[in-house]
Amino acid sequence: MSAPDSEAAAGLKVFHVGEDAAGMRLDQWLAAQTGADLSRSRIQALIRAGEVHVDGKPVHEPKAKLVTGAVVGLGMPQPTPAEPEAEAIDLAILYEDDDLIVIDKPVGLVVHPGAGNWTGTLVNALLHHCGASLSGIGGVRRPGIVHRLDKDTSGVLVVAKNDFSHRALSDAFADHGRTGDLERAYHAVVWGGPPRPAGTIDAALGRSGSDRTKRAVVSEGRGDARHAVTHYAVIEKFGARSDATATASLVECRLETGRTHQIRVHMAHIGHPLVGDQTYGRAFLTKANKLPDDVRPVVAGFSRQALHARLLQFRHPRTDEVLRFEAPYPADFAELVEALSRLPSE
């Protein structure tokens, strides 16, 4: 690999094309020279923006072929301010270093600004908390979101601070732990009791035909179908009966894929929607009315999906250390579990 010229101007890296690189694509070759510091898509964006020069002239085509002896200059513009504004929002930080930050996301906090939620999000909070330690994701000084939790889902979430960690963590999450050390476990309180102590739900997800903001189980052959697999295990049954059913259950879910609302849709699909789920468990909301007086108010008053990202494990992109984090139940989730645990078994 060619080393950058040590006399290059600040913010500019200079590389010399050797004989072995003749005929290679400019973007492919530069990606090899910069290693894991820049993704190929980021390099392509820099080329199109005029930040790459060959023999002193700007080249705007990533597919441009190299010739032996050429001198390639790679400009690294300073990260531009992110569009969302920094806001002082308290965060429960589980871990932080120069590459990433791990938080225990509270219920009600939206991860990323969007329609109806341009302020008060996790991104706004991180822009304030991390400040200058954000070295730029895709050239913009902003946190790198590699996975998300719904607004009303609590628990462990990791965010990248730079392109290097964003790229590595994104690859790990895309792999879903099949070949690496990534491990994610969610705890959910669902209605009823799954007949088996553990199982796998393999059902494609797509947009609901009745509401485009919702997801639904669809046939694999549909155009928008996305393969989705959820593994679940029953932790505890509440109000267990002799026929293996129950009033409700605490289950652990692990994802083999990461689709929008996957756990909520899959559990509803097998007849066990999450307690409090106003979107996918609406037909079960009146079940709380049949509960004993000391349990009914807690369950009836639980107005969000009972889902908590309990565990997150991953390999640190720079140190290669395996990091493991667990988030305790938030107060409302813990109260729900405690109340349901008072239900007598038959």
The residues assigned a catalytic role are: 150
Question: What string of H, E and C letters represents the secondary structure of the chain?
Answer: CCCCCCCCCCCEEEEECCHHHCCCEHHHHHHHHHHHHCCHHHHHHHHHCCCEEECCEECCCCCCECCCCCEEEEECCCCEECCCCCCCCCCCEEEECCCEEEEEECCCCCCCCECCECCCCHHHHHHHHHHHHCCEECCEECCEECCCCCCCCEEEEEEECEHHHHHHHHHHHHHCCCCCCCEEEEEEEEECCCCCCEEEEECCEEECCCCCCCEEECCCCCCCCECCEEEEEEEEEECCCCCCCCCEEEEEEEECCCCCCHHHHHHHHCCCCECCCCCCCHHHHHHHHHCCCCCHHHHHCCCCCCEEEEEEEEECCCCCCEEEEECCCCHHHHHHHHHHCCCCCC
